[in-house]
Amino acid sequence: MIPIRTESAWKGTADCRNCGIRDLVLFADLNEQDFSHIHAPIDDLEYAQGAALYGEGSLTQGIYTLRSGMIKLVRITLDGRSRIVRVLRTGDVVGLEALANDRYDSDAIALTPVSVCRIPLEVIEKLSASSPRIHAQLMQKWQRALKEADDWLADMNFGVARQRVGNLILKMRNPTNHDVSMVFSREDMGAMLDLKLETVSREVSRLVRMGAIIPLDKQGRIYKVVHPELIQGSA
């Protein structure tokens, strides 16, 4: 799938200086001199839910900073199944492998409508060479991405179905409001947890019946976490 809105594609319309989440993303520590090194276009792009930013094995063009929404990273297993290996949220950097490889190592797909800034590799390479701050920040982002990937695999592959579903609901709580957890389609949840759709549905319904969570939308994607101790107990 392709983005439904890419009016600014590669026209250099991003305003990094005045970015509303600049403190969270890659250019937080840049000064005016650093900005003078940016000559290639950096673009604000929007993708619809379900749209792909890039595909596994495709040639790298740059990295993306996630300004809003959530993105899933998907890989195909040896037996042909799709497996979600990580979920990225506001402030995360997407496609960091582009700094070391010439091809992306997963599909990056919008779980929700997302807005991103696409940064060409030449910009990153020039800034990394000219600015110790941006180089250090890149390394910190990379280290954080590796740790989160390890944590994700550990949390999502631990225990029986009941434990995995509970871990996912707790992990997907809003960072600024732990009373709300935003999950995904049961199919996506199954792909994250290596469980069948029916199993995921059964375990979510069980938590609702227990009163541990309360659905806040008709689609069953947003839940109020009422009793996290019950979820942790069942997990």
Domain borders along the chain are 16-149, 161-234
Distance CA 135, CA 155 (A): 30
Instruction: Find out if CATH 1.10.10.10 is the number for domain 161-234.
Output: yes
The answer to whether the 16-149 and 161-234 domains have the same CATH topology is no
If one compares 8 and 140, the residue with the highest pLDDT of the two is 140
User: What's the pLDDT at 37?
Assistant: 56
Q: What are the tens digits of pLDDT across the range 22-71?
A: 444 555 555 555 555 555 567 788 999 999 999 999 999 888 988 888 89
User: What's the pLDDT at 58?
Assistant: 94
Distance CA 186, CA 91 (A): 26
Give me the mean pLDDT over the 190-202 stretch: 90
Q: Is 179 exposed, middle or buried (0-12, 13-18, 19+ CB in 10 A)?
A: exposed
User: What's the pLDDT at 207?
Assistant: 95
Q: What is the pTM of this model?
A: 0.71
146 contacts 192 by C-beta, under 8 angstroms: no
Q: Using the 8-state DSSP alphabet, how is residue 212 labeled?
A: S
User: What's the pLDDT at 31?
Assistant: 57
User: What's the pLDDT at 23?
Assistant: 46
Pair of tokens at residue 185:
């389609």
Average pLDDT over the chain, rounded to whole? 79
Q: Residue 189: is its pLDDT beyond 50?
A: yes
Superfamily of domain 16-149: Jelly Rolls (2.60.120.10)
Pair of tokens at residue 190:
């199954």
Give me the mean pLDDT over the 133-140 stretch: 71
DSSP H helical segments within the chain, as ranges? 32-35, 121-130, 132-156, 161-171, 186-193, 197-210, 228-234
| CA 31 to the chain's CA centroid | 27
**Looking at 11-20, 127-136, 199-208, 216-225, which range is the least confident one?**
11-20
If one compares 145 and 230, the residue with the highest pLDDT of the two is 230
Pair of tokens at residue 18:
């005045």
Q: What are the tens digits of pLDDT across the range 85-102?
A: 888 888 888 998 887 888
User: What's the pLDDT at 11?
Assistant: 42
